[in-house]
Structure 1
């Protein structure tokens, strides 16, 4: 039971990112670069020569770096823009997209639940985004969140391949170097956070709490928790973020918005909890960098 609690705590901590990102007031690329820099600190202690010999795994790790840089920049921008509930729930289209893409990309068994859950999720999003606070007034939040879901899906696929030769902690840390360089390459000075600004402490705290601590708890519990219930427990992240949006940031979606968010959560957890072959579980354990 305690291992399930660890997984649940880790996923819940991931959902606390808005508590740190909103007060910081940094842009998506600035927050992402700072988080990647902190996550990369253990890298010198995790690089192994034997892992580098696996070219496919190493190329996947490099691809993951570029993909997660985009994922983090888009997701953090969505959370910063708000509403939090819309940002996180559109980001959490990723597990559904993964289930739909797996038969073609990973040659895995087709997911019946994903085929049934896709239209349900679209109905839920339509209800959620149809509210005045949900996205019609400012479509950028759902667009940024939905775009981040595409790259989060790419993260999972790449990390599955990288896990052939790298541990989850090594993947989290080593890919962050590539992600940081990619953010600097694309955004240039716009990715650099302000120097000696007290707001940086919020993002640093988020990196330690929602990033490193959240990952550590999640992976510690995942050693003894089967992949299916672990995937379902991951939906505590958007649930936590949605509750924070309601009770901390004063976001009110109304009855239809609430119903839509509930449909997205329930259908997503239902799809994620579908039993899968053991081989697919390894990639899932290495997929998250603490940004969803």
Structure 2
């Protein structure tokens, strides 16, 4: 049991990310926009992280330099805010299944961005993964181009979520050179909250948040598929190989697809499924050979933002 428990925890963390649509759809039904939902998520996540930090990570609050705020502006604003906005918008424009699959184009973006900005090497496996991802997107976009349930804006925001997700890895790697993963996570959500609350003027929706269901959905969004999912995933990651964790984590889109089919009556065609499988296979290809060294740090930086 001790040997398989880390795998179970990784799968549980990824599954919790996969149910995020329940909270997003629920809040959307009360008239909250995608950006307001993002603001609610980062605000409540920040509260939970501060409380956890006080109890367990008091030494992780201090920054070495005030100028390092720019690193967390990168992870918090350029990544978290942009990624979540695109992801939540895509869920309302296209199916949950397709939104989460397009999110998983992130490893292809990571490969390209890491090559350009982090001077990381690129090999045939990575090139094949990028090509597979592009082909998968073409299959998804091409076969559904005439469908009223799929919009070009939905596909673009879905790809935008993958790009925003990838940006976190780039900024996160720089931040993790100096700071503990919890410090990076904490300041990421704090900066995102400080930025988003005045931008969205969330206080003008105070009356809506007095509704018990809206409040519970907001708290749940900030805790279950955010803080809890991250800690569960990280616990498992610390006790297993990073490349295995990356493969197990692909349970997330599977859970999201099942959720879309069972709760929201979504359906997938054969070509859509083929495109989705191409993208997920590319995720496995790009992770398996490259993440055996320093797997913990790399995988922490790629998963913190969820």
Give the TM-score taking structure 2 as reference length. Answer: 0.85
Cα distance change on mapping 1:190 and 1:256 into 2, 3 Å: farther
**Please, which of 235, 249, 263 is the counterpart of residue 250 of structure 2?**
235
Cα distance change on mapping 1:60 and 1:192 into 2, 3 Å: farther
**How far off its partner does 1:288 sit?**
2.7
**Please, which of 169, 174, 180 is the counterpart of residue 187 of structure 2?**
174
Contact 2:107-2:166 at 8 Å conserved across structures? yes
Deviates most, 42-51 or 170-179: 42-51
**Please, which of 134, 159, 162 is the counterpart of residue 175 of structure 2?**
162
Instruction: Name the counterpart of 1:78.
Output: 90
Instruction: Name the counterpart of 1:15.
Output: 18
Contact 2:241-2:292 at 8 Å conserved across structures? no
Cα distance change on mapping 1:111 and 1:31 into 2, 3 Å: farther
User: Partners in 1 of 2:277 and 2:146 — Cα distance?
Assistant: 14
Matches within 5 A, 1:87-236: 87-132=99-144, 137-188=150-201, 194-197=208-211, 198-236=213-251
Instruction: Name the counterpart of 2:298.
Output: 283
CA deviation string 1:120-163 (max 9, x = no partner): 22222222223348977422221111112211111111111212
Number of residue-to-residue matches in the alignment: 291
**How far off its partner does 1:277 sit?**
5.9
Give the TM-score taking structure 1 as reference length. Answer: 0.89
Contact 2:18-2:252 at 8 Å conserved across structures? yes
User: Partners in 2 of 1:111 and 1:77 — Cα distance?
Assistant: 34
Deviates most, 53-62 or 17-26: 53-62
Is 1:262 matched up with 2:265?
no
Cα distance change on mapping 1:59 and 1:283 into 2, 3 Å: farther
Contact 1:130-1:257 at 8 Å conserved across structures? no
**How far off its partner does 1:191 sit?**
8.8
Structure 2: unaligned runs, 5 residues or longer: none
**How far off its partner does 1:225 sit?**
1.4
Is 1:52 matched up with 2:58?
no
Structure 1: unaligned runs, 5 residues or longer: none
Deviates most, 252-261 or 266-275: 266-275
Is 1:27 matched up with 2:42?
no
**How far off its partner does 1:48 sit?**
4.4
User: Partners in 2 of 1:246 and 1:49 — Cα distance?
Assistant: 42
